[in-house]
Amino acid sequence: MSTNNGHTNGTPDIKWLEQLANQFFKTAPNDASSIPTYNIDKPASGVSPSAPDQGNVKDISHPQTSLPDPHFVDGQIPKSVAGSGGVASFDEQLQQALNSIQTFTPGSQLPYVPNFSEPAFYFLSGKQSLKDGNGLPANVRAPFDVEKVKADFPILAEKINGRNLIWLDNAATTQKPKLVIDRISYFYEHENSNIHRAAHELAARATDAYENARKKVQLFINAASPNEIVFVRGSTEAINLVAQSWGDEQLRPGDEIIVSHLEHHANIVPWQQLAAKKGLVLRVIPVDDDGQVLLDEYAKLLNAKTRLVSFTQVSNALGTVTPAKEIVSMAHAIGAKVLVDGAQAVSHLRVNVQELNCDWYVFSGHKVFGPTGIGVLFGKEALLNETQPWQGGGNMIKDVTFDKTVYQPAPGRFEAGTGNIADAVGLGAAIDYVTHIGIDLINEYEHYLLVYATNLLKQIKGLRLIGTAADKAGVLSFTLDGFKTEEVGAWLNKWGIAVRSGHHCAQPILRRFGVESTVRPSLALYNTCSDIDALVEALYKIRNKVY
Ligand code: PLP
């Protein structure tokens, strides 16, 4: 029997599975009785033996994990596919846990929203009618029951210094819901294998799980094809990949790269390194005093030598949401390529790479409730296929002789060696979680929290908010007169409140505001107004030196 997997383009060509299955299925593959249970005498079919027990789709032409994975059947928000009776499926359990989100009554549980007498931000101007009892515009669904969401995250039950943990360090990394943790355990307990090149059952399960995760990412950011999704370690690796493959191949001495003043070091250093190596020029879009990029200044930087614009969609240090669509189309107008750093965007706002029309988009799994060590590079398919591979090795090749190597098309050509299979699957589960709650609902809820927190923080004397752009997401950076930022962070930790204090790997933008570091509480969907109240109360204590 051939062990060739028959892959032609980096995603599984399930014809070989079909052929194998046909050898062993005398009846149609959809017939549950034809699905083998574990049987060492029979080679793997590619259909998980546990699938029928879980009410799973048993169609071999729809590769899937052993867990119901209906996302990629037709791209719709899944309905439960669990069988009747027996243990509720993964999908059903999640659905049950989240049902209450849809039924929560606005205004009944969210705390009082203070009076916004002196609006400094557009979202405090009353435009969103936050004073009208429920804190959300009428066309938005009710906010969810955040306590139920919080309960999905086991670590949030931890006690820190005798208090409940309040996790406000989400821009650094997010916590993981139980279903992500369980999904990874399930992978290692039932599916673990290297992927692609084997005819045995576990290789088929692991390959299905991995490729399904890719499909989930595709749907999550609305890429045109799963071939546009490359799994990498994270945003940093994705940017380095583009710099060292496309950048190294395409850019010539004198070519110009534009970044914004807001960038994380991950979107500065790889370009600086490339510029030093190849004699390129790095230009920087300035920001205004609120921390928003100046589009007119950006326009002045664009010229015939501009080959690449690489910028963040949401600033990790200030929370600024940049006008990404405008930045992309202005760059395209002069023929430059565009990379969007979505590390801080994906957990807060809907991402649509086709609408954005960027050439590359990067994000990290751990910032969107998935595991560390897994991330995504989206690239337009044609562009990926015309770009030289970054690393060489197994998996990324079609054919190797001692004379030459023929590479796989994307995404395989950029996934040399054994990747982080289990965590890709975990990222798929995290995307399921976010999708089930609804990214727009999360966005609205967090907006409410940001308004609530901003208003309370502004009232603390001596506290300077840094980053006051009209369009912000998730981040509240500040300094407190008379206190070092690390001192504030350490005191907050004493009360179980986790925030980051430091330069946030974004030194240029902090220096733009005359500081070397800030205290940075950052929000996620499981934070509550009482988390903010605890933060504010602690800050008053620190300011008044009441420890
Ligand atoms: N870009 C931004 C805007 C970030 O906030 C971060 C991390 O904080 C990164 C890139 C780098 O992400 P990672 O460390 O997951 O590669």
Residues 173-198: tens digit of each pLDDT: 999 999 999 999 999 999 999 998 77
- With the most atoms of ligand 1 within 8 angstroms of its CB, the residue from 174, 236, 420 to mutate is 236
Asked whether 44 and 201 are in contact (CB, 8 A), the reply is yes
Q: For the segment 485-539, what is each residue's pLDDT rounded down to a tens digit?
A: 999 999 999 999 999 999 999 999 999 999 999 999 999 999 999 999 999 999 9
Coil, helix or strand for 168? coil
Is the bond preceding 43 in cis, omega lying within 30 degrees of 0? no
- Residue 505 among the catalytic residues: yes
The residue type found at 186 is Y
Nearest-CA neighbor of 437 among 501, 487, 369, 388? 369
Dihedral angle, C-alpha 15, 47, 81, 174, nearest 10 °: -90
Q: pLDDT band at 133, cuts 50/70/90?
A: very low
Q: Rounded to the nearest whole angstrom, what is the distance from the C-alpha of residue 365 to the centroid of ligand 1?
A: 10
Which pLDDT score, from 0 to 100, does residue 546 have? 87
- Measured from the CA of 367, which atom of ligand 1 is nearest? 15
CA 400 to chain centre: 35
Ligand 1 nearest atom to the CA of residue 263, by list position: 3
**CA 327 to centroid of ligand 1, rounded, Å:** 20
pLDDT over 70, % of the chain: 74
Looking at the CA of residue 238, tell me the nearest atom of ligand 1. Answer: 16
Pocket around ligand 1 at a 6 A CB cut-off = 234-236, 264, 266-267, 312, 316, 341, 343-344, 364
480 close to 487: Cβ distance less than 8 angstroms: no
pTM to 2 decimal places: 0.78
For tokens 């998996």, name the residue: 395
pLDDT one-digit tens code per residue, 323-351: 999 999 999 999 999 999 999 999 999 99
* CA 162 – CA 317 distance, rounded (Å): 30
Tokens representing residue 166 in the block: 């309040």
Q: What would the two tokens of residue 434 be?
A: 């976010």
pLDDT at 117 over 90: no
What is the distance between the alpha carbons of residues 337 and 310, in angstroms, rounded to a whole number?
A: 8
Q: What is the pLDDT of residue 309?
A: 98
Contact predicate 368/525, CB 8 Å: no
Q: What is the pLDDT of residue 125?
A: 36
Express each pLDDT in 388-442 by its tens digit.
Answer: 999 999 999 999 999 999 999 999 999 999 999 999 999 999 999 999 999 999 9
**pLDDT at 198 (0 to 100):** 78
Separation between Cα atoms, residue 339 and residue 331, nearest integer Å: 10
The active-site residue, picked from 505, 513, 540, 541, is 505
CA-nearest residue, atom 4 of ligand 1: 343
pLDDT score recorded for residue 527: 97
- Atom 5 in ligand 1: residue holding the nearest Cα: 316
Going by C-beta distance under 8 Å and a sequence separation of 6 or more, which residues neighbour residue 490? none
